[in-house]
A and B are shown apart, each in its own frame.
Chain A
Amino acid sequence: MKIDAVAEKVFAKILTPSTVCEKEIRRFCAFERISELLNGVTSDTLLVSGKLNPQLLRVAELFEVPAICILSDTFPEPEMINAAIENETMLMVSSLGKKEVCERLTKCLGEEVKEP
């Protein structure tokens, strides 16, 4: 599924329109711990997180994660948005909480990944 289509499914607003790409999202990963994320993310994973921090962006950069979906209308700082643009990682913010986003993503992408 294309990134913008996924964003629509979870009622997310895209914060970095310049990074929208044709990449397919095939899975999602919503772990809270970085070490768990490392085992789960790939270049076709949507990373789902309660809030954004520089290390989440670093993980996205290292593992070429195409997009990060932040939950519950938690808007990141402008520096974070700039850093995401630099990384070419698409940022989206959903008005929904983790449970609902995960349920919606499971419907369109299948179960959350534990390992690639």
Chain B
Amino acid sequence: MNTGSFKIRGGDFTRAGSASSALKKLLKQVNVEPEIIRRAMIAAYEAEMNVVIHARHGNMRFSLDSDRIDIEVSDEGPGIPDIELALKDGYSTAPPRARELGFGAGMGLPNIKKSSNTFTIESVVGKGTKLNISIHLKALEAQGTDRNSIRVIADNCIECMRCLLVCPSNALRVRGGKPEIMEHLCIDCAECIEVCKAGALTTGMAKEMPKPTENTQLIVPQSLLAGLTDSITPELALAVLKKMGFINVAVVEEWEEALRNAVMEYAQDEKRPKPVISPVCPAVVNLIETRFPSLIPNLAPFLSPIEAARRDMGEKRALFAASCPCQCTALGRGHLLANVEAVDPAILRQEIIKVVITEGEKKEQSSSESRQKSAMPEDILEIYGVKHVIKVLEKVENGFIRNIKVLELYMCDRGCFGSPLLIEDPFIAMRRWKAAGAFPHEPRKAIPRSAPFTARRGVRLDADISRAIEKLSEIEGIMKKLPGKDCGICGAPFCSVFAEDIVMGKADISECIYIKEKEKDETE
């Protein structure tokens, strides 16, 4: 990985653009494709000019690896009071001096967004603004996306089609003998990984134990500590991890509790749309942004626990055992990845077991203090599992859930205890965790989001509405020809999805085995 940083001086229109220029030289040196350089330059230059025009000074940091370039542009400036407005085409607050030079078209942030694969913006009025831009260097096949940490190992696919049937957002296809993930639809849950017994779908997390260093923080989910055996208790697992050489070991639950308290407080305001939905599970947030955009106002505007933990780590080196793909994605979102690594929790689980077997089981003494876990407030309703979450969200959308203050929704069964990356049964692990009581830890705070939740574009048939309507009619026409058996042999989960793929030019009607047979019969 190649990293670097450049200083940006506010108000200096003569030298402005020199950071982008230096970045471009580097990209050319490493033979990045011209079209990628072009996109990186649009994003970097617009971001740099924002600092020059609006701020006192700033920094451009970048990190380049074989898959992507991440650019972070931060400044000390006035901040943006209304980010949503600032992202609108044509909105500008550029002063006359900048306008004289051709700036102030109100296209800066929209241009950055258009040129990047992911773009986040955080801003605090009176303090400054931070933009994070990621651009992929390669085609996305088998690479995953920034919204997605699910990886395809095509050679392992046995075309069992199980993944097609469980994907809650119809984001999977199996064509040409390998799974394809539709980036704009995938919500990064772990349903497909859970059913893929052939190992064709996995996560992008490290599969080998990174070497602990004295400076590395380790953050683990409670489901890992409770997901071992009855004899390897959460206390013992934590003690083993602490002895591995990390400077500190923290548990994600610490940030979960802080978030729960903050969401409860937020929900006390009568004006908030009810029920307030906690952003505790990033996959649920993705689901809402994709399938239930009308419920975005119900989401409490805080970072998820894993994002808050990541933020608290700041510039320190940190190793995260993420419970699932969406947590892994959330770790990378809005940050340069240089000081953070995600490891598959199953690897840490093996390491703990290895140490315990080698050193023998030693009972960890419980602290003499009372370690009762805080009880779940009555105003919160917890819902676990994809099917239940979708049903509840449909009910909320239709106005059938009114007397519940806060919803905590988890895509996996029993929350992160049900992650398919962990082996233990979620009910047993959860019981073990409850029995272990609370561990002493530093006080944590929920972190408010500075970037709003936004609806995902999802499937757009066409940018031109009249053409989109035509396409809709085409889909209906194709649907009439298809057998409606939803057999999945064509590689799409349902005939309706297949029809849409045909209209979008991603599939051909001849891939339907029934149509093919019919045509054959007619010819004969």
Contact = CB atoms under 8 A, between A and B. Distances in A.
A, B bound: yes
Interface of A: 32-39, 42-43, 53-56, 58-59, 61-63, 116
Contacts of A62: 17, 20-21, 24, 41, 45
B45 A38 contact: yes
B38 A63 contact: yes
Interface in B35-57: 38, 41-42, 45-46, 49
A34 B20 CA distance: 15
B111 interface: yes
Interface in B100-140: 101-108, 111
Nearest to A36: B105
A61 B111 CA distance: 19
A60 to B, nearest CB: 11
10 contacts: A33-B105, A34-B103, A35-B46, A39-B42, A54-B14, A55-B49, A55-B102, A58-B16, A58-B45, A63-B41
Given A35-B107, A35-B108, A38-B111, A53 B21 contact: no
Given A38-B45, A55-B102, 19 more contacts: A32-B102, A33-B103, A33-B104, A34-B103, A38-B42, A54-B13, A54-B14, A54-B16, A55-B49, A55-B101, A55-B103, A56-B102, A58-B16, A58-B17, A58-B45, A61-B17, A61-B21, A62-B17, A62-B24
Contacts of A32: 102
Interface string B6-18: 0000000110110
Contacts of B101: 34, 53, 55
A32 B45 CA distance: 17
A58 B41 CA distance: 11
A59 B111 CA distance: 14
Nearest to B43: A38
Nearest to B42: A38
Contact of A33 (B13, B20, B38, B102): B102
Contacts of B13: 54-55
Nearest to B107: A35
Given A54-B14, A55-B16, A58-B21, A34 B41 contact: no
Contacts of A35: 46, 103, 105-108, 111
A55 B108 CA distance: 15
Contacts of A36: 105, 107
A59 B103 CA distance: 12
Contact of B111 (A39, A56, A116): A39
A55 B45 CA distance: 10
A110 to B, nearest CB: 21
Contacts of B49: 34, 55
Contacts of A58: 16-17, 20-21, 45
B1 to A, nearest CB: 24
Contact of A34 (B21, B24, B102): B102
Contacts of B42: 38-39
Contacts of A34: 49, 101-103, 105
Nearest to A38: B42
Contacts of A53: 101-102
B46 A38 contact: yes
B80 to A, nearest CB: 17
Contacts of A43: 34
A54 B101 CA distance: 9
B168 to A, nearest CB: 36
Nearest to A41: B38
B180 to A, nearest CB: 28
Contacts of A116: 38
A73 B464 CA distance: 42
A32 B101 CA distance: 9
Contacts of B103: 33-35, 55
A54 B105 CA distance: 18
Nearest 4 pairs of A and B residues by beta carbon: A35-B107, A58-B17, A33-B105, A34-B102
Contacts of B16: 54-55, 58
A115 to B, nearest CB: 10
Contacts of B41: 38, 62-63
A8 to B, nearest CB: 27
